[in-house]
Amino acid sequence: MAVDLFCGLGGWTEGLLAEGYDVVGFDNERHVYGDQRYPAQLVLQDVLTLHGSRFRNAALIVASPPCQAYSYMAMPWKRGKAMAAAIRDDQSGRKLDALNALFNACFRIQREACEAAGHHIPMVVENVKGAQPWVGPAAWHYGSFYLWGDVPALMPSTRALKVASKSGRRTDVGNGVRFTSRDCGTGKQPVGFNDDKRRAEKCGGDWFGSGPDCSLMRQMSSKSSARKAASAQIAKIPFELARWIARVYRP
């Protein structure tokens, strides 16, 4: 059995199902866009309220906490910079804790699961490049999908994504279409700029968690269902990545 925290449309779950796992996904929203929906058992629950002991029998935990606050602060936008400065300047650390609440919850849940199981249960957490200043360096990245936790030593190449991104084309990754164009062309942006920018813009307020400035960002974003559908698709874990992790940890 595997657990998919913040499961969204189930990019992780599709890879897990393909490798024969039973999967339970947790999200605080049921995402349905046309024929796209989460493909396994979905539990509607705030991940912050989960106790990891209920996952003592899991073979693997995967998680994709919301990324928008991190993406937003990585952008050269006044409000993003101001938000980052406010968090850095907060000597109490409370703003940083609030920012990282959902990311850190994943590791608490894993710890509780391991304690209840009496053995290590692997977990892979995905987020954006822009999360690194706040949560520490990622172990690996697959295109714009940055990974923390029990990332296997051997990981698939992202060459296909990079080739496509240079040519500014869309590319098919697994069974989902990923947008890989990097069309800024100024050469001034840090690596990953457009990946995070795209995810910040496209995700809009749709995937926000309960961080400190979420309401501000929500106000700034459109909530049309087309936008939500685009957000969900952009945030979806590529099938190759999900299946690789699933295969490595298959019992």
Ligand X SMILES: C[S@@+](CC[C@H](N)C(=O)[O-])C[C@H]1O[C@@H](n2cnc3c(N)ncnc32)[C@H](O)[C@@H]1O
Contact residues for ligand X, defined by CB under 6 A? 6-12, 26-29, 31, 46-48, 64, 66-67, 102, 207, 209-210, 235-237
Least separation in angstroms between CB 199 and ligand X: 8
- CB closer to ligand X, 81 vs 101: 101
- CB closer to ligand X, 31 vs 243: 31
Least separation in angstroms between CB 29 and ligand X: 4
Least separation in angstroms between CB 167 and ligand X: 25
Comparing every residue's Cβ against ligand X, the nearest one is 11
- CB closer to ligand X, 73 vs 102: 102
Residues 84 and 80: their CA atoms lie apart, in Å, by 6
Least separation in angstroms between CB 9 and ligand X: 4
**HSE of 88, CA atoms in CB hemisphere, 13 A:** 9
- CB closer to ligand X, 3 vs 47: 47
Q: In three state form, how does the secondary structure of the chain look?
A: CEEEECCCCCHHHHHHHHCCCCEEEEECCCCEECCEECCCEEEECCHHHCCHHHHCCCCEEEECCCCHHHHHHCCCCHHHHHHHHHHHHCCCCHHHHHHCHHHHHHHHHHHHHHHHHCCCCCEEEEECHHHHHHHCCCCEEECCEEEEECCCCCCCCCHHHHHHHHHCCCEEECCEEECCCCCCCCCCCCCCHHHHHHHHHHHCCCCCCCCCCHHHHHHCCCCCHHHHHHHHHHHCCCHHHHHHHHHHCCC
User: Residue 241 is encoded by which pair of tokens?
Assistant: 């990545």
Least separation in angstroms between CB 30 and ligand X: 9
- CB closer to ligand X, 81 vs 248: 248
Least separation in angstroms between CB 231 and ligand X: 8
- CB closer to ligand X, 47 vs 83: 47
